[in-house]
Amino acid sequence: MRLETTRIDIGTTRPLVLLNTVDATELGAHPLDRLRIEENGTTTGIVKVTDELVEQGVLGVTEPLHHVRGPIDVALAGTPQSVQYVRKKLNDIELEDDELEAIVKDIHENRLSDIELSAYVSAVYANGLSLQETKHLTRAMTDIGRQLSWDAPVVADKHSIGGVAGNCVTPIIVSIVAAAGLTMPKTSSRAVTSPAGTADVVEVFCDVEFSMDEIESIVAEANGCLVWGGGVDLSPVDDAIIRAENPLSIDPPGQLMASVLSKKRSAGSTHVVIDIPYGEGAKVESLADSRELADDIKRVGAHLDVAVTCAITHGTEPIGHGVGPVLEARDILAVLHGEGPESLRLKSVRLAEMLLTHCGVDASAADILESGAALERFRHIVAAQDGDPDVEPDDLEPGSESTTVRAERSGVVTSVDNRQLCDLARRAGAPKDSRAGLVIHKSTADPVEPGDDLYTIYAETGNKRAAAETLAADREPIRVRSKTDALVEQR
């Protein structure tokens, strides 16, 4: 069939094509079928059928296919072989190397529909990946994208598996390690299940999207960088998978390992510290599971020739006071100034010390931070990434809409639930609304009197503030019990 084309903008990253119902009937095409488009080679689109958006004889093409110009010839195309492999994984059957490679290739080439990609993510979440599958998936995800290389024999890196509110240690660690003379080109993801990924927080200070050449220039100037990995095609399949995971708020362990380590290998990292928080409300809830995950991560890292060490840290409550891009950015600056939340300072120093030791550098992370060298290096990196190096904590204002949740009785804080706090911050608009989120006023074991502030919700609109308040009314992210009840809970 020969059709004219028209551009359609419906805000999708998928290569969708819109067929009029009459044309679809003639072709025998149904929604989610593939359409082969002959135009300077062969391109494939995923079918949507409509009565009104396009006329008979016209093919609507979405942004990924805007290069297609009519008139063009179209015909039905077969379903990608990788869809069978997704179905195989749904049936809890281990995938072969070539089957994983086919899935990765088809994700990269946008040949899977949103439903098929979600099915893949759901299959991995429900049935898991074996260590062998994880190794081959990681290698396939690494090989499909571009890779950075560096002259330095040791290239430092750090990553957290997430799940802890306000865990914004990375910019502090990069500043310390780069100030110690190591090369640390930190590429980070945006948020998956959290109210702020590292890239979301750093974007408060400066640009995070750069070309390969620009990243190399920034690192040459500042010893390090804090950029979004998705902007330079490093393990690009990971970003497509993250987009599918995000609405489901899932991050299965095998896919998590493949995600983290494919990005580290693609960034040219040689020595990596992986932070694995564990505890109630974290992604990994038991110490035994965290140790098992650490062992698996190190095995997959060795498969990629990346030296990995893991820090198993307590993740039962937030690190820092702020949750959300701007609020976490304020905590970062405060710690670099020698102030700020003590929990954030201690964890940053501990992980930086581990990374320096892992890289064979004899230097004190605490001394570098306290001397002001880390703050100076952070400002250098921000300036190199087109930001304002002189920004101060008070310059970063949260959303204008706020409400504070207060204690209704006296007692003691017996728990602070990361997952609930993250849910509240996301309901308030984070990370999309950079000034949205929470400020946490109490920690576990703190004494509480009636009327004491527990946490404050910030939003950029009244509707989102109200939505977060409604959720807060059904949750208890900061649990207060009488001293007697608290003793009973401890037993």
Helix (H/G/I), strand (E/B), else coil: 366: helix
Nearest-angstrom CA–CA distance, 431 and 437:
8
| Cα–Cα dist 113/110, whole Å | 8
Residue 228 bridge partners (DSSP)? 188
CA–centroid distance for 183 within its chain: 23
Q: Residue 251 catalytic?
A: yes
Q: What's the DSSP call for residue 130?
A: -
Of 410, 413, 143, 161, nearest to 279 by C-alpha is 161
Phi, psi of 273 (to 5 degrees): -105, 125
Residue with tokens 């703050």: 375
Residue 321 near residue 440 (C-beta atoms within 8 A): yes
Selecting among 33, 106, 238, 251, the annotated active-site residue is: 251
- Output the six-digit token pair for 51: 């009565």
What percent of the chain is helix, strand and coil (3-state, nearest 5)?
Answer: 45, 20, 35
Element housing 284 (H / E) = none
Phi and psi (nearest 5°) for 438?
-135, 155
**105 vs 111: CA distance, rounded Å:** 9
Q: What is the DSSP letter of 63?
A: G
DSSP string, 141-176: HHHHS-----SSS-BEEEEE---STT---HHHHHHH
Starting at the edge strand found earlier in the chain, the sheet holding 156-160 runs 156-160, 271-278, 307-314
**Segment holding 45, helix H or strand E:** strand 42-50
- Tokens 């062998």 belong to which residue? 132
Q: Which of 453, 443, 364 is nearest to 404 (CA)?
A: 453
User: Residues with catalytic annotation?
Assistant: 251
